[in-house]
Amino acid sequence: MHAKWETVLSELWVKSRFTSYFYQSVNFEADETVPTLSLAATEAGFVLRYNDAFPDAFSLDELTGLLAHEMMHVMLNHNHRVTPGKDVLLQNLAQDMVINSYILENRARFFSRAGRDLRDEPEVILPNGLPLVPDRFYAESNGRYDATWEEVYEWLEANQEEKITHVTDKSQNNYRIDSRFEVPDFSFRQKPVNDEIIADFFNDSDGVIFKSASDRELPAGVHFFREKTLDDTIDALKKRIISFAERDENSRAERLYQEISSLISRIRPAKIKNFNKVVKRFLNQVLCGDDWDFSARRFNRRYFGEGIYAPGRFYRRQPSLTVAVDVSGSMLAKPETIERAFGVIESLLGRYAVHLICIDEAVFVPQKSGDTFIASKETSDKYLYRRGDWRYIKTAANAATFFGPLFDTFMKDKKQPLIVITDGEVYDMDRLTPYRHTLWALPPECSKSMKPPFGRVVAID
């Protein structure tokens, strides 16, 4: 490994413990086919490939800034391969702009730690000439400085005539701003530059590289395309880095660790996004064994392909499930979401007996009254759901939803599966009696934030 990288990695342990933990998981490899550097994922882990002459052209602080830049691409899950319908070159340019602008605006506090004076913190310095989000973007978005790369991409696509000339300038490293209290003044970037920044394909189509109009390679990383099969590997590597960093008190105090760890730890939507399949798998797993029997009249298809004729499983009696619908005023689900959910429920009719109950401040068995459901006076009754009954479900005027009566009383001593259709605004979640055969079905925009203490969560999509 180049001697300069050895020094940079040694100093990182003092500057940023979290960044140091990240690069302890990265292999450094000299590669003359790469003109600058590139951080890529492989089945074996992360690899930083670099041209052996590249580190000699930059200071240790600039090389540290470039390592921070490359790490941010990974941590922000920037997939450099084109997404359907998008311009791959503009997409990669937008991703680079957003990271460079973020580091530049936060360079005084990028490596900061809680309880320490910012004046004692090392600034992050990027080499000259790296692309920044254009000033016109900020002007046309009312000074918004926390834009996502997707927003910048859409702006670039709509302004193809824009010459990309706003770049990093390390001579401005004394510039500070507290963006929490004022809109940044980007006039310090108005330094005249001669060349426009151009994104181009590298090595035919292996990745993307950034150049000036005079064909000079910028001191930026090459964006190599990765296969989607590596996504799970990258997620596992990131979680491993977080697990190491969280054991270190110095790392936990870093602003960078706190922001990135919360991003990675965010609840991810289920990988199986087909609501229909999730519901059917849930029912197969939780149905009571008493509902099943075996008979030689029906063969077991699991073994039949191997020439083994084994008895098949069948229902001794029709199994049942309960569907509880949140009808409070806080229910955010749109009518089409309710329709989509019950489209799946109705596909179960005939095979399952579906009992419908409603929840707002209390739980009640519904009964039809005109074009809506009202509460039945007999809470012990069962309403057998029929095709199209979802149209009678109306939200109530009260805003609160209390699920205690459902789990503490109505489902007590029951064993059948329970599907709860709600928006997640459950006011007594921490006091509920656990009912493990529960599937919480929520609109996609609500499913990511709900963390029930029991049961599973699935998005209605």
Kindly report, residue by residue over 269-320, the tens digit of the pLDDT: 434 457 888 888 888 777 654 555 566 666 666 655 566 667 765 555 678 8
Beta-bridge partner residues of 199: 210
For residue 305, the model assigns a pLDDT of 59
d(CA 261, CA 280): 34
Residue type, 52: D
398: left (phi over 0), alpha (psi -120 to 50) or beta: beta
Interaxial angle between packed helices 3-15 and 60-75, expressed in degrees from 0 to 180 and rounded to the nearest 10:
70
- Number of CB atoms found within 10 A of residue 458's CB: 24
| Ordered alpha helix ranges (H), 40-166 | 60-75, 88-105, 135-140, 149-158
User: Cβ(111)–Cβ(15) under 8 Å?
Assistant: yes
Q: Given the structure tokens 């064993």, which residue do they identify?
A: 415
Residue type, 78: H
For residue 272, the model assigns a pLDDT of 41
Looking at the chain, the domain(s) classified CATH 3.40.50 span 275-459
3-state secondary structure of 39: strand
- The ranges of the chain with pLDDT < 50 are 173-193, 266-272, 289
DSSP per position, 81-98: SPPTTS-HHHHHHHHHHH
d(CA 111, CA 107): 8
Report pLDDT digits (tens) over 20-44. Answer: 999 998 999 999 999 999 998 888 8
Long-range contacts of 263-267, Cβ-Cβ distance < 8 Å, separation of 24 or more: 263/75, 263/76, 264/75, 264/238, 264/239, 266/448, 267/448, 267/449, 267/450, 267/451
Task: Please give the structure tokens belonging to residue 113.
Answer: 């730690």
- Residue 11, phi then psi, degrees to nearest 5: -75, -25
For residue 302, the model assigns a pLDDT of 60
For residue 28, the model assigns a pLDDT of 95
Reference 195, options 108, 130, 133; nearest CA is: 130
CATH tag, 275-459:
3.40.50
CA 333 to chain CA mean position, Å: 21
Q: Given the structure tokens 């012990």, which residue do they identify?
A: 380
Reference 448, options 281, 279, 263; nearest CA is: 263
Reference 324, options 430, 431, 413, 435; nearest CA is: 435
Q: How far from each other are the two terminal CA atoms of the chain, in whole angstroms?
A: 49
For residue 44, the model assigns a pLDDT of 81
Instruction: For Cα atoms 48, 54, 60, give the angle at the middle one, nearest 5 degrees.
Output: 85
3-state secondary structure of 73: helix
Residue 166 makes CB contacts below 8 A (sequence gap 6+) with: 131, 132, 133, 134, 135, 189, 193
Beta-bridge partner residues of 320: 353
For residue 271, the model assigns a pLDDT of 43
